[in-house]
A and B are shown apart, each in its own frame.
Chain A
Amino acid sequence: MIDAGNTAWLITATALVLFMTLPGLALFYGGLVRAENLLSVLMQCFAIACLVSLLWLGLAYSLTFSGSGAYLGDVNRLMLLGVARDAAFPNTAIPETVFFMFQMTFAIITPALIIGAFVERMRFSAVLLFTLLWVFLVYVPVAHWVWGGGWLAARGVLDFAGGLVVHLTAGVSALVIAVLLGPRTGFPADIKPPHAPWMTMAGACMLWVGWFGFNAGSALKAGGDAGMAMTVTHVSAATAALVWIAIEWLKFGKPSMVGAVTGAVAGLASITPASGYVGPAAAVVIGLAGGIICYFMVGLVKRRLRIDDSLDVFAVHGVGGALGIVLTAIFVDAALGGVGLAEGRSIGGQLAIQLTGIAATLLWSAVVSFAIAKVVQAVIGLRVNAEVEEQGLDLRLHGERGYNM
Chain B
Amino acid sequence: MKYIVAVIQPHRLDAVREALSSLGVQGMTVTEVRGFGRQKGQTEIYRGAEYTVQYVPKVKIELAVSASIADSVVDAIGNAARTGHIGDGKVFVLPLEGAMRVRTGEMGADAL
Quick check: B48 and A259 within 8 Å, CB to CB?
yes
B86 at the A interface (CB under 8 A):
no
B46 neighbours in A (Cβ, 8 Å): 32, 193-194, 197, 256, 258-259
Quick check: B48 and A298 within 8 Å, CB to CB?
yes
Contact with A along B22-52 (1 / 0, CB 8 A): 0000000000000000000000111111011
Nearest chain A CB to B42's CB is how many angstroms away?
10
Quick check: A254 and B51 within 8 Å, CB to CB?
no
Nearest chain B CB to A199's CB is how many angstroms away?
13
Cβ contact of A312, chosen from B45, B47, B51, cutoff 8 A: B47
B53 at the A interface (CB under 8 A):
yes
B44 neighbours in A (Cβ, 8 Å): 193
Quick check: A303 and B49 within 8 Å, CB to CB?
yes
A337 at the B interface (CB under 8 A):
no
Quick check: B53 and A259 within 8 Å, CB to CB?
no
A299 at the B interface (CB under 8 A):
yes
- B45's closest neighbor in chain A, by CB? A252
Q: How far is the CA of A197 from the CA of B47 in the complex (A)?
A: 11
B53 neighbours in A (Cβ, 8 Å): 193
- B46's closest neighbor in chain A, by CB? A258
Q: How far is the CA of A91 from the CA of B45 in the complex (A)?
A: 49
Q: How far is the CA of A338 from the CA of B48 in the complex (A)?
A: 34
Please count how many residues in chain A sit with their CB below 8 Å of the partner chain's CB atoms.
23
Nearest chain B CB to A130's CB is how many angstroms away?
25
Contact with A along B60-103 (1 / 0, CB 8 A): 00000000000000000000000000000000000000000000
Q: Which of A261-280 contact B (CB under 8 A)?
A: 262
Quick check: A298 and B45 within 8 Å, CB to CB?
no
Quick check: A258 and B47 within 8 Å, CB to CB?
yes
Q: How far is the CA of A70 from the CA of B79 in the complex (A)?
A: 78
Contact with B along A26-43 (1 / 0, CB 8 A): 000000100000000000
Contact with B along A160-174 (1 / 0, CB 8 A): 000000000000000
Quick check: B47 and A259 within 8 Å, CB to CB?
yes
Quick check: A248 and B48 within 8 Å, CB to CB?
yes
Nearest chain B CB to A75's CB is how many angstroms away?
43
A51 at the B interface (CB under 8 A):
no
Q: How far is the CA of A258 from the CA of B53 in the complex (A)?
A: 17
Q: How far is the CA of A189 from the CA of B52 in the complex (A)?
A: 8
A224 at the B interface (CB under 8 A):
no
A residues with CB within 8 A of B: 32, 188-194, 197, 248, 251-252, 254, 256, 258-259, 262, 295, 298-299, 302-303, 312
B residues with CB within 8 A of A: 44-49, 51-53
| 11 A-B pairs (CB sep. < 8 Å) | A32-B46, A192-B51, A193-B46, A248-B45, A256-B46, A259-B46, A262-B47, A295-B48, A299-B48, A299-B49, A312-B47
A189-B52, A193-B44, A295-B48 given. 12 additional CB < 8 A pairs?
A188-B49, A191-B51, A194-B46, A197-B46, A248-B45, A251-B48, A254-B45, A256-B46, A259-B47, A298-B47, A299-B49, A303-B49
Task: List the 9 closest A-B pairs by CB distance, nearest first.
Answer: A193-B51, A258-B46, A193-B44, A299-B48, A252-B45, A298-B47, A194-B46, A262-B47, A193-B46
